[in-house]
Structure 1
Amino acid sequence: MAIIGTFTANANGTFSGSIRSLSLNVRTVQFRPVDKTSPKGPDFRVYSGAAEFGAAWKKVSRDNKDYLSVTLDDPSFTEEMNAALVVIDGVHSLVWSRPDDKKAKPATETE
């Protein structure tokens, strides 16, 4: 798990902060709440300035803690990035971990 961003919860329901990794440096990021158009629709859209580059859904962890499940995407990415906006030591942190390829790939007859 890697912390790739820190955010502040704002009174208007948004979160503002930045995202930084070895290849990504987005200084102004905002999670803006949206009116859901369907039960599976996102609760937030993620923006950098006027450019939308992600969405987030409200979730509850097994420990009964609220968090946001986040998907980020951009034409410069080879594939979408999944992360979570969680509270760690009182700070809203965007965390990312590499997907477990063993779970994602179906077993073949030769394995």
Structure 2
Amino acid sequence: MASIGSFTQQADGYVGSIKTLSLNVRSAQLRPTDKGDDKGPDFRIFSGEVEFGAAWKKQSRDRRGYLSVKLDDPSFSAPIYASLIEAESGWSLIWSR
């Protein structure tokens, strides 16, 4: 597992940055959505006005809340899946294959 981002929680979502070898988003925002149904995302992920992902609220086996994140863009060869988990100094975006 590798940390590819760090975020802080705000009243209306999360703000932070994402960095990989091919991706460098200095100002990413997870904005809450009005879920139309149970399968819809809880958050949409933006860089400025460009949407490039979504996140869903989940619970781990030990009942800790986290966000399941999917990042996607036409420039990616495949979507990036990650988890936004609470860390000592905010929230950490952990990449998983």
Pick the TM interval, shorter chain: over 0.9
User: Given residue 10 of structure 2, which amino acid in structure 1 is its aligned partner?
Assistant: N
Q: Distance in 2 between matches of 1:44 and 1:70?
A: 9
Larger relative contact order (C-alpha < 8 A, sep ≥ 6)?
2
1:52-104, CA deviations, whole angstroms, 9 ceiling, x for partnerless residues? 00000000001110000000000110011100100122420000022xxxxxx
Root mean square deviation, CA, Å: 0.9
**SS of 1:22's equivalent?**
coil
Aligned to 1:77: 76
TM-score, with structure 2 as normaliser: 0.96
2:37 paired with 1:38: yes
Name stretches of at least 5 consecutive residues in structure 1 with no aligned partner.
99-111
Equivalent pairs counted in the alignment come to: 97
TM-score, with structure 1 as normaliser: 0.84
Name stretches of at least 5 consecutive residues in structure 2 with no aligned partner.
none
Aligned to 2:2: 2
Matched-pair contact (CA < 8 Å) for 2:56–2:68: yes
Computing the radius of gyration over CA atoms, which structure comes out larger, 1 or 2?
Answer: 1
User: Given residue 67 of structure 1, which amino acid in structure 2 is its aligned partner?
Assistant: Y
Identity of aligned residues (%): 59
Offset, 1:14? 1.1
